[in-house]
Structure 1
Amino acid sequence: MKVSVSMYSVNSTIQKEDWSTIDFINYAKEISLDGVELLDMYWKDKDTELEEVVAKLKELQLPVSAYDVTNNFVKESAKARSLEVEKINDGIEVAKKLGTKVVRVFCGDLHGDLTYEDGQDWIVEGLTRSAEKAEKEQIYLAIENHGLLAGKSTQVEEIIEKVNSPYVRATFDTGNFLLVHEEPENAFDRLREKIIHIHFKDFREKKPDESTKGFRSTKGVELIGSVPGDGQVNLSYIVNGLKEINYQGWLSIEYEGKDDAKTANEEAVRRLRELLEQGGENYG
């Protein structure tokens, strides 16, 4: 299995030091990553930057593990949902230029009085439309378990099955299941045959005396992003499970803590490589 880091994993550094995508790629090479995961939200001028990024990736011989699109199908306007389909279709074109076979996608965000049941038809409709292009280009759309819509493994599974395309699979985020109070091990067992991409992430519960603002779960519990191995996720279970199914894809680190992002990611890379070499025993 190959190790990459999501660009979002160093978001605080990007904001603080005004990094470009090129800066991130150079950093990834410095810490000896196998590849990088890039996001649509970081383009300043995509048309200009994309050509430069492709050239830099070729120069440094760094592949792209996935290209992430920040779409949202939970919109009551059909026109607005069509724009989200266009966003994913554009992401497929960018992915082709970047040389990756995976486009990470979202389902959508809850707002107002809407529920998952309200939004599910819109999500399935949008992903079905985008899957037409994905199938033609042989690019996988990888649904991330994210937020309150498709945050649970049952929801991800249900949407994948309803879209019913071999090119719509799962980005398995190891940490996000904790935000909907699902054990990541159970989620893995449910989705293991549908995984095409992994976000290697960990969370811990906020301590009573901490002032740091965390991510609030569906039951109001605050979780703090941590370096993998310092939180609640049984990462060894997931790594060993991936070996059992002969997973050949990427493990992409996504750190969402408050410590220095560069230092945290470098430690995360070290731990993940160690975990892969050891087989995952007694970790997490």
Structure 2
Amino acid sequence: MKIAGHTMGTPELTVLEAAKLFSEIGMDAIEIIYQEGYKSALHESTTDEEILELKRELKKLGIEASGIVSYASDYNQPDENRRKAAIRDCRRCIEIAWMLGAHFIRIYGGTFLEGDENFDEKRKILVSTMRMLADEAKEKNVALVLENHFNTMTTGPQITYDIVSEIDRDNVGILYDQANIGFLSGEDYRKCIQIQRDKIFYVHVKDFKFKAEGRKFSAGSVTHVNEEERAVVTRIVGEGILPWKEIIYNLHEVGYDGYLSLEYERRWHPMDIPEAAVGMAKSAAYLREILGTLEG
């Protein structure tokens, strides 16, 4: 397994500055956000020439691009304008991934907020849209990985597996995120990995603690949780409640050998955790220690 740094952890830095930091603290790769309005991201205005220059700089630093993070989620919407906007976003992410030599695009499995209706109809639209985009991505040697994520149609392990299976493309898999599952439903990692085992293409690593026992999770958007909604606080990996050593061992046992991407949530919760040079460095060291015992 390889360790990647996610640019969610570096809101104070540009993408290239984040890449330099990740290289310095011994990471293998960088996962890059694609979204307007965020410093540590690629944007709609980023040119092909700038992307190719970034590729050259990453090569000098000795790290690779593991994936691109799309923030589009309306792939399942009956409203054609909303759906087409998400498709345009994903297509640009596919192009960027191809130019950088990255092989994964993080995908939100549609928009489905609490109280939304017509699940079956929107699921059919999501499956159809993903099939189309997967066929385009395959030409670029890129895979689409649907994340276990709140306010989407791919929240828990079983529904995510079922939808990815229905899409039925060999370059569509699951982005396994036990932290998201942990504060949504609390399902055990062994159950989650067992259900999803043959479709886990990518893994996000983060950690948390609950603010108070029994507090219910809620969020008003797909992308993040507002401060007044939070049921958890984010933590440096290894200092929260998730048993990452056991999770990684279990992933190894089912044959996973891909990226462990540190989704250090400083972008959303800087009050919880120190800057990346401290917190991501400690998290990466913790993961390397686990991987060292695994290899031994």
TM-score (normalised: structure 2): 0.83
Q: Deviations over 1:177-235 (max 9, x none)?
A: 02321233321111111111110122210148xxxxx99348x8701111222222222
- The 1:141–1:247 alpha-carbon spacing in structure 2 relative to 1, beyond 3 Å, is same
Mapped partners of 2:275, 2:188: distance in 1: 26
Partner of 1:231: 240
Aligned: 1:266 with 2:268: no
The DSSP-based 3-state class of the residue aligned with 2:66 is strand
Deviation at 1:251, TM superposition (A): 0.8
Partner of 2:7: 7
Deviation at 1:68, TM superposition (A): 1.3
Partner of 1:105: 107
Partner of 1:33: 27
Partner of 2:256: 247
Deviation at 1:90, TM superposition (A): 1.7
1:79 to 66, 78, 81: 81
The alignment yields a C-alpha RMSD, in angstroms, of: 2.3
Partner of 2:42: 43
Q: Which runs of 5+ in 2 are unaligned?
A: 36-40, 220-228
Mapped partners of 2:42, 2:141: distance in 1: 24
Deviation at 1:169, TM superposition (A): 0.3
- The 1:234–1:55 alpha-carbon spacing in structure 2 relative to 1, beyond 3 Å, is same
The DSSP-based 3-state class of the residue aligned with 2:139 is helix
Mapped partners of 2:216, 2:205: distance in 1: 17
Letter in 1 for 2:135: E
Partner of 2:293: 278
Mapped partners of 2:59, 2:293: distance in 1: 31
The DSSP-based 3-state class of the residue aligned with 1:171 is strand
Once the two structures are aligned, what percentage of the paired residues are identical?
A: 22
Aligned residues of 1:170 and 1:196 also touching (Cα < 8 A): yes
Aligned: 1:54 with 2:55: yes
Aligned residues of 1:236 and 1:279 also touching (Cα < 8 A): no
The DSSP-based 3-state class of the residue aligned with 1:137 is coil
2:200 to 174, 177, 195: 195
Mapped partners of 2:195, 2:249: distance in 1: 15
TM-score (normalised: structure 1): 0.86
Mapped partners of 1:148, 1:183: distance in 2: 20
Aligned residues of 1:171 and 1:196 also touching (Cα < 8 A): yes
Q: Deviations over 1:35-71 (max 9, x none)?
A: 1111112225311532331121122121111111112
Letter in 1 for 2:281: E
Aligned residues of 1:205 and 1:222 also touching (Cα < 8 A): yes
Mapped partners of 2:294, 2:103: distance in 1: 27
Partner of 1:211: none
Aligned residues of 2:207 and 2:240 also touching (Cα < 8 A): yes
Partner of 1:205: 210
Deviation at 1:247, TM superposition (A): 2.1
Aligned: 1:93 with 2:98: no
The DSSP-based 3-state class of the residue aligned with 1:279 is helix
How many residues are matched? 268
- The 1:34–1:163 alpha-carbon spacing in structure 2 relative to 1, beyond 3 Å, is same
Mapped partners of 1:117, 1:201: distance in 2: 31
Between 39-48 and 134-143, the greater mean CA deviation after superposition: 39-48
